Amino acid sequence: MFVCPNCGANINFDPGKQLLHCDFCDTDLSPDAVIQKDDAEEHTYTESEADESSESGYSEYTTTIYTCKECGGEILANDNTVATFCSYCGASTVLSSRVAKERAPEYIIPFRITKDQSAELYKKAVSKALYAPDYMKEDSTIEKLRGIYMPYWIYDFQEHRPAVLKGQKDHRSGDYIIHEHFDISFNVDAQYKGLSYDASSQFSDTFSEAIAPFDFSTAVPFNTSYMSGFYADAADTEPSLYERQCRNIVTSEIYNQVAKDPSVRSITLKKDSSSNLTPEQTSSELGYFPVWFLSCRHKDRISYAVVNGQTGEVATDVPVDYRKYVISSLICAIPLALLFSLLPILRPIYVVFVAFIFAITSMIILCSQKNKIYIRENSLDDIGLNYRKDKMKQEQMANLGPNQPTPPPQPQPVRQVKTKTGSESNWIYTVLIVVCFLMSLCAGPIGVIICVCVITPLINSFKNKKSKKIVGTQTVVCSKAPASEKFKLCLKPLIGAVLALGVLIAAPHFDSYYYISALICIASVLLSFWDIIKGHNELATRKLPQFDKRGGDES
């Protein structure tokens, strides 16, 4: 820990002042002008722990590692602060601690957003979610915001060499279409510094992408004084894990810059030849980036919120409160029922058609949700966590004795990762907008009212699932849940849709058939809405994490 030279009290880094501040004598000090108090009086180190560098040649620093007894999550602290709760599972217990050596990063980006500022940013994000549970807005929950330096691998790319791209230009001459092929030669003069990916398997990749990017130009050489008053997470992944994604980013950027050149703007470049543009990696270093972290535990589920400690970007999980949803639905239903009683009777075929569209839409949403839940529950959207699981399996296999039977392989879901540039468009919103248009066209004013009172809150609940901004590139996971699970989930609206479609095709002469089928279909849709909200809450909350310990006191 760091002590004030004037009064001897502990001093912490103040993000607002960018200085070390003493709360007792109000002294401000430069982070480079303080001396860390020697902990030798409090701790006894072995010879290996006292080394300045590890066997791999990386420099190390002394830290206290706090381990949660419930989930095994670990956080680091550079002082003797007692950790009273776990940031990852929300357990309110004093975490066990040990003193150890950790690899020191090469760079650190100091906190610039204070705790009070991060709390206001979080409140602002949650206030936009009308159906957010009350426990997420309580002061006791917000008070658990914790400043954590998250480890990130920092990649640098540099290349100066000639390259060639294939291109094609098409034009018509009379009855013929002429294809002209080009070889575009140019010199690559590219340098990229500061491409980063989180190096902790405990920190979700979806959140690290949501609060990106960090401004690496403000990074400074690592100094433990910047960590005074904050926690940190340890890097447990290899830098090679994200090299492919970084190369794709660099290649796409160079390709886009070439395509913007006025001399080749009229030529269509072939992307399959862009592999010639990939520069060689020059270095990969470790850095600590600032993140305000908050966990909201409710029963056996937990939701997270993170704030970029440098830019203030917020990403948060927001589940839907069932009580608020039901009450708001009833409030909307009362004036809607009164309005129905005042309007002329609609044509029965329109009512059945609207009910059929509702049923189809609910099935589309349920299937999409189930695929996302399948990806989340199997951790297919987190490269770091999958790396850690694979590493643990390899260690378990290596520890098996020669006489012990090899455990049968467990079926693993297929995981395909691709890189997508720009903001991700959610096609579900497009489908719902089309449904609103069709209902307004077929059912007139009543269709508009139904869209406002039913579909619009549903869209808002999906939008409030995560306040997320995607910058640059995003890792997209392609995987689907088993068809049998989706069929069971869609069974209720499917029955209603089949009944409504049968009536529309049969076209009976009695209106009673239309109204009965419409009522049954709408009832099945209402039941499926409950499943949609339940699925949304599964996506907006997570299972309590279970991290295996990485060494330490195992007695």
47 vs 484, more confident: 484
Tell me: pLDDT of 200 over 60: yes
pLDDT of 341: 64
Query: Which range has the top average pLDDT, 116-130, 269-283, 396-410?
Result: 116-130
Tell me: pLDDT of 383 over 70: yes
Tell me: pLDDT of 141 over 80: yes
pLDDT of 140: 87
User: Residue 218, Cα to own-chain centre: how many angstroms?
Assistant: 24
- Owner of token pair 């401000």: 28
State the average pLDDT for the chain. 77
Q: What mean pLDDT comes out for the span 191-220?
A: 87
Lowest mean pLDDT among 24-38, 153-167, 333-347: 333-347
Tell me: pLDDT of 21 over 80: yes
pLDDT of 107: 92
Tell me: pLDDT of 484 over 80: yes
Cα–Cα distance for residue pair 381/210, rounded to 1 Å: 13
- 516 and 488 in contact (C-beta within 8 Å)? no
Lowest mean pLDDT among 60-74, 274-288, 477-491: 274-288
Lowest mean pLDDT among 11-15, 40-44, 237-241, 346-350: 40-44
- 282 and 158 in contact (C-beta within 8 Å)? yes
**Closest C-alpha to 538, from 373, 375, 380:** 373
C-alpha distances (whole Å) from 247 to each of 243, 254, 287, 469 are 6, 11, 19, 22
Tell me: pLDDT of 461 over 60: no
Q: Residue-wise over 115-147: b if at least 16 C-beta within 10 A, else e?
A: bebbbebbeebbeebebbbeebeeeebbebbbb
Query: Which tokens belong to 417?
Result: 């990762």
Q: How confident is the model at residue 273 (pLDDT cuts 50, 70, 90)?
A: low
pLDDT of 522: 85
Four-point Cα dihedral 247, 250, 254, 260, nearest 10? 130
Query: Which range has the top average pLDDT, 188-197, 421-430, 518-527?
Result: 518-527
C-alpha distances (whole Å) from 386 to each of 241, 285, 362, 379 are 11, 22, 32, 7
**Closest C-alpha to 278, from 182, 476, 419:** 419
β-bridge mates for residue 102, sequence order: 61
Instruction: Determine the Cα angle at 353 with ends 351 and 355, to 5°.
Output: 70
120 vs 166, more confident: 120
Q: How confident is the model at residue 71 (pLDDT cuts 50, 70, 90)?
A: confident
Q: What mean pLDDT comes out for the span 480-489?
A: 85
Tell me: pLDDT of 409 over 70: no
Tell me: pLDDT of 335 over 70: yes
pLDDT of 108: 93
Tell me: pLDDT of 253 over 90: no
pLDDT of 28: 84
Cα–Cα distance for residue pair 475/381, rounded to 1 Å: 8
Q: Counting beta carbons within 10 angstroms of the beta carbon of residue 264, is it exposed (0 to 12), middle (13 to 18) or buried (19 or more)? A: middle
Q: What is the pLDDT of residues 163-174, one digit of tens each?
A: 888 888 888 888
- 204 and 304 in contact (C-beta within 8 Å)? yes
Tell me: pLDDT of 478 over 60: no
Cα–Cα distance for residue pair 369/371, rounded to 1 Å: 5
DSSP string, 369-406: HHHHHHHHHTTTT-HHHHHHHHHHHHHHHHHS-TTSPP
pLDDT of 313: 93
Q: How confident is the model at residue 396 (pLDDT cuts 50, 70, 90)?
A: low
Percent of the chain exceeding pLDDT 70 equals 75
385 vs 230, more confident: 230
Cα–Cα distance for residue pair 38/22, rounded to 1 Å: 19
- Phi, psi of 443, deg, nearest 5: -105, 0
Lowest mean pLDDT among 174-183, 187-196, 221-230, 418-427: 418-427
- Owner of token pair 């997508």: 420
pLDDT of 22: 86
Q: What is the pLDDT of residues 317-331, one digit of tens each?
A: 889 888 888 888 788
pLDDT of 555: 33
Tell me: pLDDT of 150 over 80: yes
pLDDT of 237: 87
Cα–Cα distance for residue pair 331/549, rounded to 1 Å: 50
Q: How confident is the model at residue 37 (pLDDT cuts 50, 70, 90)?
A: low
**Three-state SS letters, 53-80:** ECCCCCEEEEEEEEECCCCCCEEEECCC
pLDDT of 275: 64
Q: How confident is the model at residue 400 (pLDDT cuts 50, 70, 90)?
A: low
- Owner of token pair 């009910």: 355
Tell me: pLDDT of 228 over 90: no
One-letter identity of residue 328: S
pLDDT of 314: 93
352 vs 451, more confident: 352
- Owner of token pair 């693993």: 412
- 89 and 295 in contact (C-beta within 8 Å)? yes
Q: How confident is the model at residue 80 (pLDDT cuts 50, 70, 90)?
A: low
Q: What mean pLDDT comes out for the span 11-17?
A: 88
**Closest C-alpha to 452, from 333, 286, 300:** 333
Rg (CA), the chain: 29
pLDDT of 412: 43
3-state secondary structure at position 164? strand
* Beta carbons within 8 Å of 229's beta carbon, 6+ residues apart: 12, 13, 79, 81, 147
- Phi, psi of 102, deg, nearest 5: -125, 155
